Structure 1
Amino acid sequence: MVFYASQLGAVTALQGQHYPNVPHWNPGVMQHQQPLHTARSLDRALEDAVCSGILNVSGRKLRDYPGLNYDLTDTTQADLSKNRFGEIPPEVCMFAPLESLNLYHNCIKMIPEAIINLQMLTYLNISRNQLSVLPTFLFSLPLRVLVVSNNKLVSVPDDIGKAKDLMELDISCNEIQVLPAQMGRLFALRELNIRRNCLQVLPDELSDLPLIRLDFSCNKITEIPPSYRKLSHLQHIILDNNPIQSPPAQVCLKGKIHIFKYLNMQACRQDKKPDSLDLSTLVPHSW
C-alpha cells in the first residue's frame, strides 16, 4: 500500500521556534522595513547605514547597487531582499565585518567567488532566486544559517560537509534528487528543511546529527531508515506527502514516538539476520 501521510497532527512542526543567538529562517524579513520608498528615503537609508552598520534597502526594485557614494564598509547586517538584482553586488562582497546578508527574492543566478571575503558571515538567505549550483567555496564561510530554498538546485555539493558551524539549513523547494553522505558531517546542524524536492532516499548518515527539526515532506520517500532511531534530539519530524511504506500508515499516524518504536523493532530484526551464510558451519568435516 502506498501511503501519503497528510494528516499527521502529532508530527506537525512547532512554528516560530528559535535558537539562542541564531537568526531563524524567515525569508525577506529583517528589522526596520519601510513599506513606502522615495529617492530621499533611499538616501536616508544609506546615511543611516553609514552610522549604524545596518543596511536596509529591501523592496525598492533596485537593479544596481545604490551605495556607491557612501562608505558602507563597516556594515554588519545587509538586507537587499525583494529587489531585482541579477547578481550579488561586488561592493557587498567587500563588507569585511558583514555577519548577516539577506538576498531573498531577487534574480541572482550565481554566487561569486568574492563572497569568500566575508569571513564574518554567519547568516545567508539567498532564497527565491535562480541559483542552479551551490559553489564549493561557499562552505569555507562560518555560516550558521543557510537558506537557499526556492531556487533551481538539482544537487548539493559534497563540500557541504565542511560547513562545521552550520545549525540551520533550508534547501526546500528545489529539484534535488540525492543528498550527499557528507551531510552527515554537519555535527552542529539542528534544523534541516529538505521539503519539496525530488528525493527518493534519506541517507543513513543524517542519523548521526543532533537534529531537532527535520522536514522531508513533499518528496518521494518510501522508507525512513531504521538508523534514524538514533536521532535522540529530534522533536519535530514532518513527513507528509511522501509515498511512505515503512513505517506503515497506521504507525505514522500515531506520531513520532510510535515511528521511533517501529524503527527500533526494524533495527532489531536486521541485527538478528545473519549477514551471510557460512556453509562450512553446516557441512560436517571429513578427516
Structure 2
Amino acid sequence: MARDKAYREAEQRIEEARREGVIELDLNYMKLSEIPEAIASLTQLQTLDLSGNQLTELPEAITFLTQLQTLDLSRNQLTQLPEAIASLTKLQQLHLSGNELTELPEAIASLTQLQKLNLSINQLTALPEAIASLTQLQELDLSTNQLTALPEVIASLTQLQDLNLSRNQLTVLPEAIAFLTQLQEFYLSNNQLTQLPEAIAFLTQLQEFDLSNNRLTQLPEVIASLTQLQNLDLNSNQLTILPQEIANLTHLQSLYLGENQLTTLPEVISNLVLLKTLVISVNLSKSGLH
C-alpha cells in the first residue's frame, strides 16, 4: 500500500536524521497515517513538520522530543491531543490548523514557553482553564471554530499581540479582554456580537480591528481610547449611527462601514486626516449614503 511505502520512507528519513544529528525534520505531505515510533530517537530535534498528512493521533513517542521548539501538525485528521504533549515544555510554536479537534487537553498548561498557537479550522466549542498558563503567548489563532464564549482566564494572556477569533459563534466578549493591553491585531469577523464591552478601552495598542459581519447596532464611546487604530472594519453590521468620539482615531487609515443602516456620518470624521479608504456602500439610501 502507498501508506506502507510512506511509512518506510519516513523511517528512513528519521534514521538519517538520527545519524546526522539534525535539529530539523520535514515529513510533510507524505500521506502518513501514523508516525514511526523511531521518532523517539531524535531527542535533539528542535523543528518537526508533519503538516499535510493523514494523522489521526500522535504516538507516546513524542514524549522524548523534549528539545522541540516548533511543531507543525496542521492539515491532518487529529481529533485530540495526547497528554504526552505535556513533555514538550520548550515548545514555542504549535500549529494545529485544519484538524478535527473538539477540545484541548489540560496538559496544554505545561507549554509555558509557547509564543504562537494556531488552532484555526477545528471544531472547538470551548477553551480549557489550562490556557491561562500560556502567559508567553503572542499569537493565538482560533478562527473557524465553534466557540460560543471566551473564558475569563483569557486575562492571563497579557503578552498577546495578535488574536484571531473570526468565524466563531461569539455573542459577547468578556470584560477580561481589558487585560490584553499589548494587543495590536484583533479579528472578530463573522460572529454574532451585538455590542462591545467597555473593556475595549484598555486595548490602547490596537492597530487592526476587524468586526465585520456581526450584529453591532452601535459603538461604545470608549472607542475613543483606541488612538493607535489604523484599520477598522465594521462592514455588514446593523449600525445606525457613529459616535462623535470616532474623531479621536486620528491614526485611522481605513474605515469600512459598508452594509450597515447609517443615514449620516458625523462631521467630525473630517478630523481623520490620515484616512485613505472610506467605504460606505450599501447603507440606507434615503440619507444620500450609498
What TM-score, normalized to structure 2?
A: 0.70
Q: Out of 141, 145, 153, which is 1:151 matched to?
A: 145
Q: Out of 190, 195, 200, which is 2:184 matched to?
A: 190
User: C-alpha offsets along residues 235-272 of structure 1, whole Å, 9 cap, x if unaligned?
Assistant: 11111111211229xx9xx95498793599xxxxxxxx
Closer, same or farther: CA 90–69 of 1 in aligned 2, 3 Å: closer
Closer, same or farther: CA 262–48 of 1 in aligned 2, 3 Å: farther
Q: Distance in 1 between matches of 2:62 and 2:237?
A: 52
Identity fraction in percent: 30
Q: Distance in 1 between matches of 2:119 and 2:42?
A: 21
Partner in structure 1 of residue 208 of structure 2: 213
CA contact (8 A) 2:63 2:84 kept: no
- Opposite residue 37 of structure 1, the aligned amino acid is M
In the TM superposition, residue 85 of structure 1 has moved relative to its aligned partner by 0.9
Closer, same or farther: CA 154–38 of 1 in aligned 2, 3 Å: closer
In the TM superposition, residue 173 of structure 1 has moved relative to its aligned partner by 0.5
Closer, same or farther: CA 71–162 of 1 in aligned 2, 3 Å: closer
In the TM superposition, residue 32 of structure 1 has moved relative to its aligned partner by 8.5
Q: Distance in 1 between matches of 2:149 and 2:270?
A: 28
Closer, same or farther: CA 69–148 of 1 in aligned 2, 3 Å: closer
- Opposite residue 68 of structure 2, the aligned amino acid is T
In the TM superposition, residue 226 of structure 1 has moved relative to its aligned partner by 2.1
Q: Distance in 2 between matches of 1:206 and 1:260?
A: 24
CA contact (8 A) 2:209 2:233 kept: yes
Runs of 4+ deviating beyond 6 Å: 31-35, 257-260
Partner in structure 1 of residue 226 of structure 2: 231
- Opposite residue 149 of structure 1, the aligned amino acid is S
- Opposite residue 221 of structure 2, the aligned amino acid is P
CA contact (8 A) 1:46 1:67 kept: no
CA contact (8 A) 2:163 2:187 kept: yes
- Opposite residue 90 of structure 1, the aligned amino acid is E
Q: How many residues get paired?
A: 229
What TM-score, normalized to structure 1?
A: 0.71
Q: Give the unaligned 5+ runs of structure 1.
A: 1-30, 265-287
Q: Distance in 1 between matches of 2:268 and 2:182?
A: 26
1:102-121 maps to which residues of 2 (within 5 A)?
A: 102-121=95-114
In the TM superposition, residue 68 of structure 1 has moved relative to its aligned partner by 2.0
- Opposite residue 60 of structure 1, the aligned amino acid is N
SS class of match (1:55): strand
Q: Give the unaligned 5+ runs of structure 2.
A: 1-23, 247-252, 257-264, 272-290
Partner in structure 2 of residue 177 of structure 1: 171
